[in-house]
Every structure is written in C-alpha cells, then in structure tokens.
C-alpha cells in the first residue's frame, strides 16, 4: 500500500502503528466481540441442528436397511424351505 511505503524499515513507523493499535484496540475489541459472539453462537446452533438432523436421517436409513435385510432373509428362508419340500426322495438303487 502506498501509505506504508515510506515506513518500511522505519522504527518510528512501527512505533506509531503499535501505539495507534494499543489506543484503538480497547475501543474496537468490544465492538468486534459484540458482533462476533452472536455470529459464532448462530454458527454453533446451526451446526448442532445439522448434526441432530443428520443423526435422525442416519437412524431412519438404518431402520429401512434393517427392514430390507429382514425381508430378504425371510424370502431366502421361504425359498430354501420350499426347495427342501419339493426335492423328491431318491430311492436307493435296487441290487
């Protein structure tokens, strides 16, 4: 920045910036804190709500998958039981 070009390497310039910052900081920090605190609080609330919604969604998906697996197992057991009943008994060969 053109404003700071003449101050490079100048100890007085650094001193002036440091003193200015120490004078302005007590005024600016409370103002920034009053703005940043509600914003960070809102971000935390949003993140928490998103997390809870995600947990609910995962639980619902898990329930659906468990139901599908149970139905598939039941169908497989039915097919196996039907196949066992349908198998003809083989008589031993006559000698």
**Domain assignments of the chain as residue spans, ordered by start:** 34-81
Alpha-carbon distance 59 to 66, whole Å?
10
Chain segment 14-71, per-residue pLDDT in tens: 788 888 888 888 888 888 888 889 999 999 999 999 999 999 999 999 999 999 999 9
The b-or-e profile of 11-48 (16+ CB within 10 A means b, else e) is eeeeeeeeeeeeeeeeeeeeeeeeeeeeeeeeeeeeee
**Which residues fall within 8 angstroms of residue 24, CB to CB, at 6 or more apart?**
none
Is residue 92 helix, strand or coil? coil
pLDDT for res 85: 75
The b-or-e profile of 50-82 (16+ CB within 10 A means b, else e) is eeeeeeeeeeeeeeeeeeeeeeeeeeeeeeeee
Chain segment 7-25, per-residue pLDDT in tens: 556 787 778 888 888 888 8
pLDDT for res 4: 59
Is the pLDDT at 82 greater than 80? The verdict is yes
Model pTM score: 0.50
């Amino acid at each position: 920045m053109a404003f700071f070009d003449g101050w490079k390497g100048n100890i007085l310039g650094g001193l002036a910036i440091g003193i200015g910052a120490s004078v302005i900081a007590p005024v600016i920090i409370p103002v920034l804190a009053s703005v940043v605190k509600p914003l960070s609080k809102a971000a935390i609330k949003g993140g928490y709500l998103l997390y809870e919604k995600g947990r609910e969604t995962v639980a619902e998906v898990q329930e659906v998958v468990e139901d599908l697996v149970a139905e598939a197992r039941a169908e497989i057991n039915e097919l196996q039981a039907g196949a066992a009943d349908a198998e003809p008994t083989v008589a031993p060969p006559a000698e």
